[in-house]
Amino acid sequence: MAGKEAQLSQLEKQTEQPDFWNDSTAAQRVMKTVSNLRDDVDSWRGFRQHINDLTELARLDDDSLRGELETEIAKVEKELDKRSFAAMLSGKYDADSALLAIHAGAGGTDSQDWAAMLQRMYLRWAESRGFETEILDVTPGEEAGTKSITIAINGKYAYGYLRSEKGVHRLVRLSPFDAAHRRHTSFALVEVLPQASMDDAEIEINPNDLKMDVFRSSGAGGQNVQKNATAVRLTHIPTGIVVTCQNERSQLQNRENAMRVLRARLLELKQAEKDQEIAVLRGEYTKAEWGSQIRSYVLHPYQMVKDHRTEFETGNTQAVLDGELDSFMEAYLKSTAS
C-alpha cells in the first residue's frame, strides 16, 4: 500500500510538469496508470478506515452492538480474502481486459459441443464478476456446438484472472451424439490474451504489413448467409498471423475487431519471445505446444473437475460448468506466486 501511495504521488507530480503533454501518447499511458493507482489507493484507504471504525465500536464493549459487529467483521474477513486474491494479480497486463478464444479439438461434434459448454462457462463467470462481454468472432459447428469463438471480456483484472485458464481442457462423458451412448473424451484449447490498447508503445503495426481480404460470413449449415461481403480476414505478413472476424454486419466494425485481436496476438508473441529468452538463459526452455491438458472435467463414470497443475479438484462439476471458477484461479495464482 505504501509503495503504491509513493508511486501515485510521484506520478501526480510528473503530470503537473509544463511539458507533460508534449508527448501525448506517453502522457496518456501515465494518466491511465495514475487512474488505476488512485482507484487502488482510495479503495484501500476506505477499507482501512472501515476497520478503524469497527475497532472503535468494539472498544465501547456494548452488548447491543455485538450482532452488528459480528456481521461487519464477517464482511471484512470476506473482503480481505478478496483483496489478498487480487494482490496476486501484479503482472504487467493483469489489470487489463482480456480476449478469450476457444477452439474445438479433434473429435467432431462432441468437441464442438464441449467448446460451446466452455463458452457458456466463461460467459457465466464473467457475468458473475460484473465484466462486460462481446463476441468478436464465432464459427459454429456443423451439427452442434462451436468450432471456434473469440470473446472480448472487458473489466479491470479480467486478464489477470483468466490467464490461469490458458491451455487444453479435457471432457469425459457419455456422448449425447453417440447412438450407443458410449463414453467419449473431448478436447478444446483455450487461449487468453491481454487486450493491447491503441496507445501501447510495445505494439506498432505498419499498414504496409497488412493484407486484408473480405468475404461473406455464414452461420451453421450455411444459414444466415450475408448478402454483402462484410467478414474480414487480416494477415500480418511479417509474422504470418491470420485473424478473421465475421460477427458484425459492418465490414468496418469487423475490421476494427480484427485489429483488436491482431494487436493482442502480436503482444502475446512479443511476450512469448521474452519468456523464451529468459527460459533459455535459465536452462529451462521447453517447446510450447498443445501437450497435455491443464484440467479434466469428468462427468462419467464419476463427477470431478481436477486441475493437473495445482492438483486442486472438486466434485461439484455442475457448479464449475456454471461458472464457479474462482477457486481454480486462486489455486493457480498461489502456485505461480510461490
User: Using CA atoms, how far apart are residues 214 and 209, in angstroms rounded to an integer?
Assistant: 17
Give me the count of residues in the chain.
338
For residue 256, CA distances in Å to 243, 251, 273 come to: 11, 9, 26
pLDDT of residue 221: 44
Determine the number of helices (DSSP H) and then strands (DSSP E) in the chain.
8, 11
Yes or no: say if 165 and 325 are a contact pair by the CB < 8 Å rule: yes
Specify the long-range contacts of residues 75-78, CB closer than 8 Å, at least 24 apart: 76/50, 76/51
Residue spans of the chain under pLDDT 50:
220-225, 285-289
Which residues face 242 on adjacent strands?
A: 235
What integer pLDDT is reported at residue 277 of this predicted model?
66
Please report where in the chains the cell 503530470 appears, as a residue.
15
**Domains of the chain, first to last:** 2-87 (1.20.58.410), 98-195+296-337 (3.30.70.1660), 207-282 (3.30.160.20)
| Amino acid 223: pLDDT | 45
Contacts of 57 (CB under 8 A, 6+ apart): 65, 68, 69
Single-letter amino acid, residue 109 = T
Q: Please tell me the pTM assigned to this model.
A: 0.77
